[in-house]
Amino acid sequence: MDKASLIADAQKGKVDAFNELVLTYQHQVYNLAYRIMGDPASAADATQDAFISAYRSLSRFRGGSFKSYLLRIVTNRCYDELRRRKRRPATSFEDVDIDEDANPMLTNGGENPEEYTERQEVADVIQTGIEALPPDQRVTLVLSDVQGMSYQEIAEVTEVALGTVKSRLARARSKLRDYLRDNGELLPPRYRLESEGLG
């Protein structure tokens, strides 16, 4: 069954049809939430809330990109959670102790432990740099460079003008570049920005 039919059935209240759409988009929705929120538990909560909200407000969906519709909802959920955290900062227990070795899905097959550790260090530094960005620039950067969306799609998801997307993305990239350059010692040598001939 194609997506349009699934959406139409879901709009009639068929949960099974909507769950087909959930299975299709849940990776993208969760990854966007994870890059914005920075921890798996908050990302999972935002993702689940977004799907429930998307289903309940499906009558407002007037066509267009269903992926943009879902990503817009999860982005707004993340914004809400970030604002709530700003008012009441708290530490997530799930964020502290994650036994990644116990979950084989967190490692790529065929990767030796050193490579995995190195890749994880790079990912942590980049994620820290992303989280240091203002929320609107963070979302734009993740949508563009993590999700691989076009400027037009980002404009639809974030509901801003195309020029705003360009300027936000340029500022986000510039700040992240400066962060990675200033914290180059945290990265393995082959991942540092200022390698020979560039500095």
Partner 1 sequence: MENQAARDELLSAYLDDQLDAEDRARLEVQLAADPALRSELEMLRRAVALVRDLSPQPIPRNFILPQETTPQVRPALVARRPRWLAPFLTAATAAVSLLFVAVLARDLLFFGVGGMTQLAAPAPAADEAVVGSAPVEKAIEEEGASQTFTVTESPEENAADGTRAVAEAPLEPDEAEGTPPPEAATPPTTPGGAYEADGGEEGAEPTLVSERSPLPPAGGGEPPVESPAPTPTPAAVEAADLATQSDTPEAEKSAPVPPPEPAAAEPTEWALRDTEPAPDAVGETEPPPSDRGDADILSHVSPWRVAEVALGVSALLLLVAAFWAWRARRR
Q: Which residues contribute to the site for partner 1 (CB under 8 A)?
A: 11, 13, 15-16, 18-19, 22-23, 26-27, 29-31, 34-35, 40, 43-44, 47-48, 51-52, 55-60, 103, 105-106, 108, 119, 122-123, 126-127, 130, 141, 144-146, 148, 151, 166-167, 169-171, 173-174, 176-177, 180-181, 191, 193-194, 198-199
Where do the H-state alpha helices sit in 57-182?
66-87, 93-96, 113-131, 135-141, 151-158, 162-182
Q: Are the C-beta atoms of residues 182 and 132 closer than 8 Å to each other?
A: no
Closer to partner 1 at the Cβ: 44 or 65?
A: 44
Dist CA 51 CA 71 (whole Å): 10
Dist CA 147 CA 72 (whole Å): 13
Query: Nearest distance from residue 176's CB to partner 1, in Å?
Result: 5
Dist CA 97 CA 100 (whole Å): 9
Closer to partner 1 at the Cβ: 22 or 160?
A: 22
Closer to partner 1 at the Cβ: 79 or 126?
A: 126
